[in-house]
Amino acid sequence: MIHQSSLLLPALPFIPLLAALYVAFSESGETSRRAAFLAGTLPTLVVTAYLMVQTRTPHEGRPVVLTAWNEVVYADLLSLMMVSLTLLLVTLVGLYSFSYIPHELGQVPARGRSLRTYYSLLLVVAAFMIMTVTINHLFFMFLVIEVATICVSLLVATFKTKFALIASFKYNLLVVMAMLFAVLGAILLFGETSAEGLSLSRLSVLEMGELALLVPAPLLLIAAACFVGAFGTKGGMMPFHTWLPDAHSEAPAPISALLSGLIITVGPFGFARTAALFVPKYSSIMISVAALACASVVIGIVVALAQDDLKRLLAYSSISQIGYIFLGIALADYLGIYGGLFHLVTHLLAKSLLFLCAGAIIYRVGLRRISDLSGLARRMPLTAVCFFVGSLSMGGLPFMAGFMSKYTIILALAQAELWWALVITALAGTLTLAALVWAAHRVFWGPESEKVAAIPVGGREIPRLMALPMVLLAVAIVAVGLVPGLLYPMLDGAARSILALMAA
């Protein structure tokens, strides 16, 4: 790999951070707050696109990675892919929130301050997500993950309802506890290498492969268990998932979209970044992770089938889908990693869309129990179409984005001859389709339920600012489903980045 110094790279998180400061402390009106929010995300997205072009262009036939600050900041295509997804989703969630959050907050005391806090926290989350994926140091990576966790937990508690506060507390407690285990794993590695007088005190992500050769097997296995537990918890994979259904269902809908689409992907990302510790010397760890991921895929969707709360159903479905991503990466070959990353993107598009649709339903009719909802398609045709697009994609229907990513993972499983995993994932795919299409059918089709009929007809379905992100996500799902090659350059480079670290 060619290491190229970049001044723009370390500046990336500071743009949203500056905007967050402005939003938090400025007493200006709603319009300037919104403008500041967009100024914090859109220019950063443009800079990221430029950096992606730089890394995508091979230098003398070798892939390029960008570095800064003595390689403490590091970005390959995987990092930049995550940065662009972060900024894209935060922008869409922000646009949606412009109408949704003021409406749901109502006329509470200190409403202006609540809104300022909300938007600034959203920008801070974006900044720390960017740092998470561009930092080349294990301890600092855990630091920024924890800071992002604190901000997200405050966002989960935006409405300060009883269950939102409990969910926020639980999320904070479990994820930070998990990160404590990750720190402990890193201490074990560091203690061992420093005792041998080796110069790996930086615990750089780039040197993980080298570290694996130096640390004794028992110690490495304990550290591996700590990392898998920590990233599994952050990702919401079974059996570390207990925070996820509560936080996803009790957070405001746009934050649920952010949690499910983006925040939980830090788990598989961190796992991919540290996988060089286990591969190729301890490949059995990857098989164990694949088995856990398969359990997550099946149990998540089986529990989802039993849910009556629409947001909780989507939350359990996320536990299942994160299993696919972990499974793909755990295969540790090109096709598997490509499929895992592909599913990370398609899941982000579809699950964010589904949560935004759930938010639209709450906005319009104030209900979220599936048994209370029926016949909404006539009142909310746009939301119905978007929800079906998201459901069909998540279910893996052909010509939808989710189909291609799941199909790639299944092909990778066949190539790796993991037939048991292939059968499980194929079966779980069918169950996902059943769970989501069943939910969509119950909510949008048939005659209107009593509770829905009691709500006066009239007015616009949802405000334009809420509809725009939903439509964009739905269009993206269909576009990727019809032309999956659209994402190939980005995913190919990202998959090769992980393989390069494993081979280092």
Partner 1 sequence: MSFSGSLLVLLLSLAALGFAMLAVETVPLLRSTYWYVAHSGCLVAVYLVYAFDTGNRFLFAWAGLAVVNAVILPFLYGGLKYTAVRIPPEARSSHLGAALLGVVALAAFIAAATFSRPQLQVSGSPLTQLGSAVSLNLLAAALLFVYGIIILLTRRHLFKLALGLLIMTAGAHLTLVQMAPDIFTMVEIEVLTKVIGTVFAMLYAVRLLAERYQTTDAGILGGPGGEGGET
The residues of the shown chain that bind partner 1, judged by CB under 8 A, are: 104, 106, 139-140, 142-143, 146-147, 149-150, 153-154, 157, 159-169, 172-173, 176-177, 180, 183-184, 187-188, 190-191, 194, 201, 245-246, 249-250, 252-253, 308-309, 312, 362, 366-369, 372
- Min dist CB 111 to partner 1, Å, is 13
Taking the complex as a whole, the smallest distance from the CB of residue 309 to partner 1 amounts, in Å, to 6
Question: What is the distance, to the nearest Å, from the Cα of residue 318 to the centroid of all Cα atoms in its chain?
Answer: 10
Tell the smallest beta-carbon distance from residue 256 to partner 1 (Å): 10
Least CB distance from residue 122 to partner 1, whole Å?
Answer: 16
Of 249, 266, 43, give the one whose Cα is nearest residue 145: 266
Distance CA 51, CA 433 (A): 37
Q: Do the Cβ atoms of 353 and 473 come closer than 8 Å? A: yes
| C-beta of 152 vs 285, nearer to partner 1 | 152
* Mutual angle of helices 30-56 and 488-503, in 10-degree steps: 60
- In the complex, what is the shortest distance from the CB of residue 477 to partner 1, in angstroms, rounded to a whole number? 25
**Shortest distance, CB of residue 261 to partner 1, whole angstroms?**
19
Closest-CA residue to 131 (of 143, 119, 120, 122): 143
**Shortest Cβ distance from residue 30 to partner 1 (Å)?**
20
What string of H, E and C letters represents the secondary structure of 60-76? CCECEEEEECCCCEEEC
Characterise 447 by phi-psi region: left (phi > 0), alpha (psi -120 to 50), beta (else).
beta
Helix (H, G, I), strand (E, B) or coil at 369: strand
Nearer to partner 1 (CB atom), residue 359 or residue 481 = 359
Question: 285, 221 in Cβ contact below 8 A?
Answer: yes
Q: Would you say 283 and 228 are in contact if contact means Cβ atoms under 8 Å apart?
A: no
Minimum CB–partner distance for residue 369 and partner 1 (Å): 4
Please, which residue, 238 or 373, has the CB nearer to partner 1? 373
**Whole-number minimum distance, CB 461 to partner 1, in Å?**
18
Choose between 139 and 334: whose C-beta lies nearer to partner 1: 139
How many CB atoms sit inside 10 A of residue 10's CB? Answer: 17
* Beta strands 73-75 and 64-68, pairing class: antiparallel
Of 128 and 324, nearer to partner 1 (C-beta) is 128
Eight-class DSSP state of 5: E
> Is 173 or 483 the residue whose CB approaches partner 1 more closely?
173
Nearest CB to partner 1, comparing residues 88 and 203: 203
On whether the CB atoms of residues 323 and 238 are closer than 8 A, the answer is: yes
* H or E element at residue 186: helix 162-195
CB closer to partner 1 out of 5 and 371: 371
What DSSP character marks residue 207? G
Looking at the Cβ atoms of 112 and 366, the one nearer to partner 1 is 366
Q: Are 37 and 23 in contact (CB under 8 A)?
A: yes
Alpha-carbon distances, residue 301 vs 210, 322, 498 (angstroms): 39, 11, 29
Residue 169 vs 334, nearer CB to partner 1: 169
Question: Smallest distance from the beta carbon of 191 to partner 1, in angstroms?
Answer: 3
| Nearest Cα to Cα of residue 208 among 132, 279, 135, 133 | 279
